[in-house]
Amino acid sequence: MNTPRKGPARWIHDRGVSMKITAAVSVAVLVGILVGVLGLKALSASADRTEALYVQNTMGAQLTEELRYHYIAYRLQITMRNTASTPETKQAAEQQVDVEGAAVLSVADKLRTTTRPTPEVLAGLDAFMANWKDYQDRLGQLNQLADSGQKAQYEDYRAKQITPVSNEIVQGCRLCRSCSRRPLGPARWPPRTPTAAPVRS
């Protein structure tokens, strides 16, 4: 003897075939919509993550490399200014010094404001700017020695007062670039490694 169905089971049994099919299709559609919404949310999160990685890592490393390039160009123009054989050459070098100096400041600002820098990158950038200011403060004396023809004093001052700061600036760029390429998340400032050879200004 069959037991009478009760509750939802009886209600489903009493429905017609077309209603059962409609209900099954409706459930399948709802499941599909739910899966689609969850998939879109996951895809959006993945896209945001990819964009963050690009902004922080790729753009950060690129701007750090630009910062290093403009500083080296600036340093080269300083040397050309102080060793120029004609007033025209000296003036052209001074103009390029201004151009490259402005580029250094512009790129440093972009690195700080557009790449979502990590605390490690910000610390490195702050150290770079502090050394940059120190370098600027010492250039006046270097240029005066060059202009007055005191070659021995010029070379001594450059070796003892300019080159060490210049090496700090270049090393700071390398450390910023290294930190910019790290994955998102907690990171530690890499250990200081000595340069293979001093960089002359």
pLDDT in tens, the chain (201 residues): 455 555 555 555 555 666 667 766 777 777 777 777 776 665 555 544 544 444 445 788 888 889 999 999 999 999 999 999 999 999 999 999 999 999 999 999 998 998 888 888 888 899 999 999 999 999 999 999 999 999 999 999 999 999 999 999 988 887 777 765 544 444 333 444 444 444 454
SS3 144: helix
Can you say how many angstroms the Cα of residue 9 is from the centroid of all Cα atoms in its chain? 63
Q: Where are the alpha helices (DSSP H) in the chain?
A: 7-14, 17-53, 60-82, 87-114, 119-147, 151-157, 163-180
Distance between CA atoms of residues 186 and 65, nearest Å: 23
Nearest residue to 141 via CA among 82, 75, 93, 88: 82
Q: Which of 136, 153, 133 is CA-nearest to residue 145?
A: 153
**Separation CA 74–CA 80 (nearest Å):** 10
Q: 59 with 115: CB under 8 angstroms? A: yes
